[in-house]
Amino acid sequence: MADLNAVKQALREQRIETPSWAFGNSGTRFKVFAQAGVPRTPEEKIADAATVHRFTGVAPSVALHIPWDKVADYAKLSAFAADSGIRLGAINTNVFQDDDYKLGSVTNPDPAVRRKATDHLLEAVDIMDQTGSRDLKLWFSDGLNYPGQDDLRTRQDRLAAALREAYDRLGDDQRIVLEYKLFEPAFYATDVPDWGTSYAHCVELGPKATVCIDTGHHAPGTNIEFIVAFLLRQGKLGAFDFNSRFYADDDLMAGAADPFQLFRIMYEIVRADALNPAYGINFMLDQCHNIEAKIPAIIRSVMNVQEATAKALLVDRDALFAAQAAGDVLEANSVLMDAYNTDVRPLLREVREDAGLDPDPIAAYKRSGYQEKIVADRVGGQQAGWGA
């Protein structure tokens, strides 16, 4: 049996980072359904993230996306976050929205475009110096739509050169987390399409570079927990972008499409003793809420990650290892499934109550009046979100 006190303690100490862009209007490329009360400024996104933390107690940081969250004074923004009860987390770069990036950013055949993209990465590290952020999160939309369009191998050289510049600019306590994505927007070849490519570049860069796994960025059927186990063993897993997918990069709420997969991922984390923030993995959400209310959706996602984690912590590892060692296939599988099939909601309610929180964060949010207040207050102005 797993030690219940240790399980509760681990759940109390768990940390999940929310993404600023999930609070704004975002959606599919076909239609973004605007919602009333969404943030108009980075400060309002931070206020919403702080609200998620207030009701969940486990989401004390918010990731920024530059230039979507561009401000004149990042130290001031950081102080604003602290006053709101949270801190600024990973800085996400954006080298995918300018017209200049039609043929790529850091892998573009034009050296002037590569310079511009690399300068943006360096600017992001300047921002990290002011916000106190540890993680520079890099995702490149770079790739090709047609065979022969550009030289696959040369593009890897250009990528490596840009990564090297960014890496060399990092401070002692800063690091790169390099995200990969199988396809989209590029449809024939992506320059960082999979964990192996990200891993190889991170190894080449050095100890301050690790892989970021976005759960929505794989081919259907990919065994993501294997990737997690492999990278943990190599000390190269730095971050997650949690979300759910049914088809491709759907960005639905974490744990919505396949809670069993999320459990299997979290089991590998628990198995490696990598859950505690001290280990250094940044467990982020990367989602977009087009048709559902945003703040409750983010609270729900945080709770889904907590539920998967609680089940992973409940796995009777002694019994599992014994069954594995004995080659008892059915027993090993049933030990794992017993934990997965446990209703952990009462346990998590207790954990919240122990921490002085309402056991039902969504109901508490609904009762709080926050939604009505932001709908009333946030009228006019440009609503922030994708492209803002």
Based on CB atoms, which residue is closest to ligand LRH, 225 or 241?
Answer: 241
- CB atoms < 10 A from the CB of 30, how many? 6
Determine contact, residues 308/270, Cβ cutoff 8 Å: no
Based on CB atoms, which residue is closest to Mn ion, 98 or 249?
Answer: 249
At its nearest, how many Å lie between Mn ion and the CB of residue 89?
A: 14
338 CB-side CA count, 13 A: 14
Reference 386, options 30, 138, 124; nearest CA is 30
48 binds Mn ion (CB under 5 A): no
Binding partner selected for residue 92 from Mn ion, ligand LRH, none, CB under the kind-specific 5 to 8 Å limit: ligand LRH
- Alpha-carbon span 275 to 293, nearest angstrom: 29
Based on CB atoms, which residue is closest to ligand LRH, 90 or 335?
Answer: 90
Binding partner selected for residue 210 from Mn ion, ligand LRH, none, CB under the kind-specific 5 to 8 Å limit: none
17 binds Mn ion (CB under 5 A): no
Q: Which of 214, 225, 268, 307 binds Mn ion (CB under 5 A)?
A: 214
Q: Is the peptide bond before 296 cis (omega within 30 degrees of 0)?
A: no
Find the binding residues for ligand LRH in span 238-257 (CB under 6 A): 241, 249
Local structure of 224: helix, strand or coil = helix
Residues comprising the chain, all counted: 388
Report the residue number whose CB is nearest to Mn ion.
Answer: 241
Reference 228, options 263, 183, 182; nearest CA is 263
CA dihedral 235, 254, 185, 387 (to 10 degrees): -110
Q: What is the x/- site pattern for ligand LRH, positions 214-233, by CB under 6 A?
A: x-------------------
- Alpha-carbon span 156 to 26, nearest angstrom: 31
Based on CB atoms, which residue is closest to Mn ion, 212 or 314?
Answer: 212
105 binds ligand LRH (CB under 6 A): no
142 binds ligand LRH (CB under 6 A): no
At its nearest, how many Å lie between Mn ion and the CB of residue 137?
A: 8
Looking up tokens 């602290």 gives: 82
Based on CB atoms, which residue is closest to ligand LRH, 54 or 181?
Answer: 181
What values do phi and psi take at 274, rounded to 5?
Answer: -110, 15
At its nearest, how many Å lie between ligand LRH and the CB of residue 185?
A: 9
> What six digits make up the tokens of 17?
């980072």
Based on CB atoms, which residue is closest to ligand LRH, 57 or 255?
Answer: 255
At its nearest, how many Å lie between ligand LRH and the CB of residue 227?
A: 16
Give CA separation, 193 vs 156, 197, 207, 248, in Å.
Answer: 12, 7, 21, 13
| Sole window of 1-9, 105-113, 210-218, 292-300 interacting with Mn ion (rule: CB under 5 A) | 210-218
286 binds ligand LRH (CB under 6 A): yes
- Alpha-carbon span 117 to 105, nearest angstrom: 5
Residues that bind Mn ion (CB under 5 A): 214, 241, 249, 286
Residues that bind ligand LRH (CB under 6 A): 21, 92, 139, 179, 181, 214, 241, 249, 286
